[in-house]
A and B are shown apart, each in its own frame.
Chain A
C-alpha cells in the first residue's frame, strides 16, 4: 500500500508534466504557463513499506508449493519477470516478489567443483551482496540482482528488481547471516525429516533415467554433513518451523504418503499471534472423527501444546493424517482459533483453490496456508502501525 501525501490543491491538467528527483521517492509537478513565468510546484511524497519474509527450504527456489500458496493468499499469480532471462528464478505478482537466494552464489557450478564445496557451504555464497540488496529493497531502492542459471550452472547478467510490498527471500541461507536475519520481519523454516525427504526424493527422481535407489540415497547422505552444519542450525532463529515427519497412525509406514506435520510457532513475536486449539497455552489432543464426522482410514489426529524449542517458548500445533473430504476441512477450521482469516471458511477456500498442489490433503498444505494468512495479518498490522506513527509525527 503506497501512502502518498499531496501538498497542493492544484488541479492536474495536460499542461502539467512530471519529473522525478534523484531520490525516487519524490515527484515534482511543474505547470508551465507561457504568459507568466511563474512555476507552480506540487510536491508528492510517496513511501512504500516493504516487509521481508525469509523462507529456508532445501527444495530449490521460487517454484515451490509454499511460494505459490503464499502468493495466492495475497492475490494474483506469481510469474517470472516478463521479457527477461527465461531461466530467472524470481517470481513477481502484484504485491509480492520472491527472490531465490541461489542468485547470491559467489561460485557457480564449475567454481564449486574446483573448490570442492557444495552449494550449502557459506563459502559458495556472497552474504555481503545479499545483505546490501535486501537492505536496499527494504528501503525502497531497486537493485540489479545477479541470476544463477540452474540449467547451465553459470551466473547470468543481472536483472532489475523493483522494491515490492512484500519481499520473500527463499533459499538455503536466509537466516544464516546475522545482518540479513535482522532485516527479516518474519522467518519460516521448512524442516523435512530424513525419512520423508528420502521418500519424496524417490518419488521425484525415480522417473529420471540414470537415477537408482542407491544414487538417491548416496546423494542425500553426501550432502548431510554440510546440511547439518550450515542449514539445520537456522531453525533456532525461525519464527515458525514446519516440521514434516512420518505418520504415527500407521505402524511401520514407509511410503511417506500420510504425514505428521507440526507447526512450531515462537511466542512473543511482534504482530504474530500463534494459532491454537481450544485454549492458548493448554495441552489438548483431539480426534475430530466420531459421531459428527466420519473419516476413512487412517483418520485425523490433532495435538496442541506449549513447549520449549531451542530455549524459546513456543506453541506447537500438530496434525497427523489426511483430509478426504471438504467437510472434514471446514469442521477442523471451525475449531481452530486465531487463524487471522477475514471470513469463515477462508482456509478451506484457499486449500480448495489449489487442490491439485501436493500436500493439499494433509498438514503441509494446511499449515502453509495458515502461515500465509499469518503473514498477511503481519503485513496489515505493520502498515497500520507505520501509518499511525506517521500521522502522529505529522501532528506533532
Chain B
C-alpha cells in the first residue's frame, strides 16, 4: 500500500465521473487510480465521425468521373466512375443523416448502450 501512496495516487479516490453532457473534442484523460505510474494514463480522444472526409471523396470522384467520361462517354470506365460517385454520395448522405440524428459522439453512444461501465457512471448526489 505504501508504494501506491508514494506514487501520489490514492486508492480511496472515487470512481471516475464522466458526464455525457460534456462534449469534448480535445483529448480527455481518465484517471484509473489502480494503475501505477503516471506514464500509463489512458488518453481517450473523442472524435466525431469525419464527415469532411466523405465530402472530399465525393467531390474528387465527381472530378474523376467527368475527366474519364470526357474521352468516351459509354466506356466501362465512365460507367464505373459514375457508379462510384453514386455510392459515395449515398454514403455521404447517410453520414449526414447520422450526424443530424445527433449520435456523433462515440462515448455518448457507448454510454447509452452500457450505462453501468466505469466511464459512464454518474453520481447525482
Contact = CB atoms under 8 A, between A and B. Distances in A.
B92 A219 contact: no
B75 A116 contact: yes
A215 B62 CA distance: 7
Interface in B46-80: 53-55, 58-60, 62-63, 65-66, 69, 75-80
B87 interface: yes
A58 to B, nearest CB: 9
A201 B87 CA distance: 12
Nearest to B103: A79
A113 B52 CA distance: 23
A219 B79 contact: no
Q: Looking at A112, A117, A118, which has the most chain B CB atoms within 10 Å of its CB? A: A118
Nearest to B68: A113
B86 interface: yes
Q: Looking at B63, B82, B96, which has the most chain A CB atoms within 10 Å of its CB? A: B82
A60 B83 CA distance: 12
Interface residues of A, number: 32
B58 A208 contact: yes
A222 B83 contact: yes
A89 to B, nearest CB: 10
Contact of A210 (B53, B62, B95, B96): B62
A368 to B, nearest CB: 17
Contacts of A151: 53-54, 91, 95
B51 to A, nearest CB: 10
B81 interface: yes
Interface of B: 53-55, 58-60, 62-63, 65-66, 69, 75-87, 89-98, 106, 113
14 contacts: A116-B77, A116-B79, A117-B80, A118-B83, A119-B83, A151-B53, A209-B55, A210-B60, A210-B63, A215-B66, A215-B85, A218-B69, A219-B86, A223-B79
Interface of A: 59-60, 63, 82, 86, 109, 112-113, 115-120, 150-151, 153, 201, 204-205, 207-211, 215, 218-219, 222-223, 225-226
